[in-house]
Amino acid sequence: MSSSSSRNAFEDGKYKSNLLTLDSSSRCCKITPSSRASPSPPKQLLVATPVEEGDYPVVMLLHGYLLYNSFYSQLMLHVSSHGFILIAPQLYSIAGPDTMDEIKSTAEIMDWLSVGLNHFLPAQVTPNLSKFALSGHSRGGKTAFAVALKKFGYSSNLKISTLIGIDPVDGTGKGKQTPPPVLAYHPNSFDLDKTPILVIGSGLGETTRNPLFPPCAPPGVNHREFFRECQGPAWHFVAKDYGHLDMLDDDTKGIRGKSSYCLCKNGEERRPMRRFVGGLVVSFLKAYLEGDDRELVKIKDGCHEDVPVEIQEFEVIM
């Protein structure tokens, strides 16, 4: 992979980024003949975009179960500051165990990106959809894999360049997967045509906080099994002493925001895990979308001085 300008991925990058909210009432920023007929997004979207003129890869981030996309604002701004446009749809407000509607909505939003996104971004910003990453956290990670696998009747014409699972979860335990099940329990069974994959796990995700509830990332349906079913190239990192929701914003408002501190076993604070997740995502995207693997190689070799957490486990399939 080639060398290009680099910056510490675990800290903010060089690009100033802003947050935008797009919904059915949003107006196009770019007034052109085609923009007047541009459709509104199928779901409300939170967008983190650099404000400087440029052409930027696009990353979609799917939220976890019963969480709001706004809970990921700090993570999104971190990644965006390194030269990426982040798109986080609000897939639902209330949902049962079945994820088919989320799979369908994700595919619809991906198709909308090609015809609509450019018209709603600042005039000087251009999305480069030939470099598109699909990512998701928790149940959103499962949804991202489901869309990429194209097994469930809904897919998009937009090519997925890289796939990222942030502590992905497929149910409450082995044999208790949420429909439709994504994990097949066969090693290397995910046939994704050599799409590069990053899987990030939390060391405390398998630990129960309350004996009345299962752990937030139960054994048998969490990051380990997702990685075990990947084909290469695939990377797997696990952060020691941090929990399933520790990459969310420090201040998550409302009842759901408050409960995010109570439902899962957590680390002492969120910032280190959020920086770890953001830095890994940036390093992975730089390597596989932009040909600059210096940060990722330093992390792999254990010689990156700025990793904000202790890496409990690391595996790679090439």
Both tokens of residue 39?
């459709």
Distance between terminal CA atoms of the chain?
Answer: 14
User: Which positions are catalytic?
Assistant: 138, 167, 244
Check pLDDT > 70 for residue 30: no
Helix (H/G/I), strand (E/B), else coil: 148: helix
Q: Specify the pLDDT at position 315.
A: 97
Nearest-angstrom CA–CA distance, 78 and 278: 6
Q: What is the pLDDT of residues 279-312, one digit of tens each?
A: 999 999 999 999 999 999 999 999 999 999 999 9
Percent pLDDT > 70 in the chain is 95
Convert 261-306 into a string of H (helix), E (strand) and C (coil).
CCCCCCCCCCHHHHHHHHHHHHHHHHHHHHCCCHHHHHHHCCCCCC
Q: What is the pLDDT of residues 187-246, one digit of tens each?
A: 999 999 999 999 999 999 999 988 878 899 999 999 999 999 999 999 999 999 999 999
Q: What is the mean pLDDT of the chain?
A: 93
Q: Specify the pLDDT at position 221.
A: 98
pLDDT band, residue 314 (cuts 50/70/90): very high
197-202 and 162-166: which strand pairing? parallel
Burial 46-65 (b: 16+ CB within 10 A, else e): bbbbbeeeeebbbbbbbbbb
Place of tokens 């604070």: 269
Q: What average pLDDT score do residues 133-146 get? A: 98
Check pLDDT > 80 for residue 4: no
Q: Specify the pLDDT at position 25.
A: 78
Q: What is the pLDDT of residues 82-138, one digit of tens each?
A: 999 999 999 998 889 999 999 999 999 999 999 999 999 999 999 999 999 999 999
Check pLDDT > 80 for residue 26: no
